[in-house]
Each structure stands twice: as C-alpha cells, then as structure tokens.
Structure 1
Amino acid sequence: MPKKVDHQARRTLIADALMRVAARQGLEAVSLRHVAAEAGVSSGMVQHYFRTKDEMMAFAMAVVRERNQARVTEAIVRLGEEPPPRLLLRTMFATILPLTEESRADGRVALAFLAYTAVRPEAAASLREDTRDLTDFVAGLLPGPRQQERAAGLLALMEGLGVYLLGGHYTAEQALAVLDAQLDVVFPAGVG
C-alpha cells in the first residue's frame, strides 16, 4: 500500500527551513539547495513543491501571516468580549512586534520578504491586500477625523518599531513605551 504523504506538512517543513535560513543568514542565502539542506530533504523534493524561489517565498510569508494571525487572535480572545479600542490595538500591536524569540524569527522573515517585494512588485500583491485590510481594521477603531491616515501612521510606527527591535536599536520596553505614547495621542484620556 502506498505511503500517504501530507503535502501541506511537507510544504510547511520547507517553509520553516526557508525561514530559519533567512533569519540566520539573510534572504540572499535562500536558495532551493540551502533550504533543502536545512529541511533535511532533497532539492528535488523542494522543487516538487516550489518551482521557483518566488513561490517558496510567497508560501513562507503566508505561513508567517497565519502564525501572526493566530497569535493576535489568541491575545485578543484573552481580553474578553468587546475590549476598549485602545487596549485592542495595543494588544494587537504588541503581539505583532518582534518581542519574543518566535516573533523575532517571523519578523526577520517578514522584513526580508518586504525588502524582496521592493524589487519584485508582482510578489507584493498579497502583502498590499493585507496592508489595506489591516489599515481599514485599525481605522475603524480610531476616534475622530482622518482615520485612514492616522491608521496608516500607527501601522508605519509599528513597522518602524519592528525594524528597530530586530536591529537591536530598541529594547522591548523602549518600543512598548513609544507605542503607548503614540496610543495616548490617538486616544486622549477618557477616549477608548
């Protein structure tokens, strides 16, 4: 009887290997051969699941996105029903920021993918859609006028803090203090 293969598990194994290579050595080190060696599989197996580096990168980014969504959902569920908007945003941003070893590894891959899409706009389609959706979600939680622009500013702050955290420029405490200061501006005392 033929062995049953879990194709999604194999794709995820390969994506995890790609993330480890990218986190340790940078995106330029990601190749089918290096990822196969890291995953402990043959290059042929990697090519069976991903014909190109772009396909492999897109799948790895989808895995990072799913992990972030799962972490954010879990953190928000712990807040209970209908948390105040400021607390919801602070929890969501603090969960996304690379403050833990696991989120730092995912953050390095996300940053590498962002840089990768800067020179390959066709690879950025899903990232642009995610950014639009997240901006709309955050805007819907903000009080006052110009919600879209202020939401974009908060997301840019979060991304910048992520880069500073990954580069060792800020400690977790410093990054969270900056985030809290900005949320205090957006949500003055008694609002949200």
Structure 2
Amino acid sequence: MPKKVDHQARRTLIADALMRVAAEQGLEAVSLRHVAAAAGVSAGMVQHYFRTKDEMMAFALAVVRDRNQVRVTEAIGRLGDDPPARLLLRTMIAALLPLDEQSRADGRVALAFLAYTAVRPAAAGELRDDTAQMVGFLAGLLPGPDRAADAAGLLALMEGLGVYLLGGQYTAEQALAALDAQLDLLFAG
C-alpha cells in the first residue's frame, strides 16, 4: 500500500528550513542545497515541491504572512468587542513588529524577501497587493482628511521600526514609544 504524503506539510517543512537559513545566514545563503540540508530532505525533494528559488521565497513569505495574521488575530481578539480605533491600530502594529524571537525570525525573512524583490520586480506582485490592502485597512481606521497619506506614513513607520528592531538600533520600548507618539499625532483633536 502506497504511503500517504501530506504535501502541504512537506512544503511547509521546506519553507521553514528556508526561513531558518535566511534568518541565520542571510538570503544569499538560500539555495536548493542549503534548504534541503536544513530541512533534512534531499535536494530532489525540494525541487519536486519548488521548481525555482522564487517559488520557495514566495511560499516562505506566505507562511510568514499566515503567522503574522495569527498573531494579529489573537492580539486583537484579546481586546474584546468594538475596541477604539487607536487601540486597535496600536495592537495590530505591535503584533506585527519583531518584538519576540519568533516574530524576529519571521521579520528577518520578510526583510530578506523585500530586498529580494527589489532586484526581482516580478517577484514583488503579491507584496504590492498586500501593501495596498494594508494601507486601505489602516486608512479606514484613521481620522482626518488625508487618511490614505497618513496610512502610508504609518505603514512606513511600522516597516522602519521593524528594520531598527531587527538591526538592534531600537529596543522594544523605543519602538513602541515611537509608535505611540505617531498615533498620538494622528489621533490628536
């Protein structure tokens, strides 16, 4: 009787290995051979599930996106019904910032993917869509006449804080204080 294979589990195993390699050694170390070794599988198995490095990268980013969604959903769920917009935004952004070890590992992969797409625009399509959706969501929660520009600025602040946290230039306390200061400006009056 043939063995049943959980293809999604294998793809996730390989994506997790890719994320470990990227987080520990940088994106330049991500190769079929390195990912296979980190996953404890053959290079042929990696090729079976991902024909190209772009496919592996896109799947790894989707895993990071899913993990972020879970973190955000859980954090917002703890707020109860109908939280104020400012608290909702702060909670959501804080959940996305790399403030603990798991979110730092995910953040390093997301940052590596962002750098990867800077030189491979064809790989950036989903990222552009995600960014547009995030700006639209943020704008829907912000007050004022220039909500789209304010949302874009808030997203840029979040990304910048993430980079500074990953690089060790900011502590969690400094990043959250900067976030609170920006939210205070946006929600003043």
Quickly name the TM-score band, shorter chain normalised: over 0.9
Determine whether 1:46 maps to 2:46: yes
Q: CA RMSD in A?
A: 0.6
Structure 1 residues 5-41: Cα deviation after superposition (integer angstroms, max 9, x where no partner):
0000000000000000000000000000000000000
Given the alignment of the two structures, is residue 33 of structure 1 paired with residue 39 of structure 2, yes or no?
Answer: no
Match of 2:185, SS state, is helix
Q: Deviations over 1:125-170 (max 9, x none)?
A: 0000000000000000011111000000000000000000000000
Counterpart of 2:119 in structure 1 is 119
3-state SS, counterpart of residue 98 of structure 2:
coil
Equivalent residue number for residue 76 of structure 2: 76
Residue 185 of structure 1 pairs with residue 185 of structure 2:
yes
User: Partner letter of residue 63 of structure 1?
Assistant: V
Cα distance between partner residues in 2 of 1:122 and 1:76: 33
Match of 1:96 in 2: 96
Q: Secondary structure at the match of 1:140?
A: helix
Provide the rounded CA distance (Å) in 2 between the counterparts of 1:86 and 1:174: 19
Q: Residues of 2 paired with 1:134 and 1:82: CA distance? A: 20
Task: Give the deviation of 1:81 after TM superposition.
Answer: 1.0
- Counterpart of 2:16? 16
SS in 1 for 2:141: coil
State the TM-score, normalized to the length of structure 1: 0.98
Mapping for residues 93-172 of structure 1, pairs under 5 Å: 93-172=93-172
Gap runs ≥5 in structure 1: none
Q: Percent identity?
A: 81
2-structure distance, mates of 1:77, 1:98: 19
Aligned to 2:67: 67
Q: Give the TM-score of the pair, scaled to structure 2.
A: 0.99
5+ residue gaps, structure 2: none
- Which deviations, in whole Å up to 9, do the C-alpha atoms of 1:159-188 show, x marking residues without a partner? 000000000000000000000000000011
- 2:3 corresponds to 1:3: yes
CA distance in 1, matches of 2:94, 2:70: 14
Query: Which residue does 1:173 correspond to in 2?
Result: 173
Partners of 1:143 and 1:48 lie apart in 2 by 49
Number of residue pairs aligned between Structure 1 and Structure 2:
189
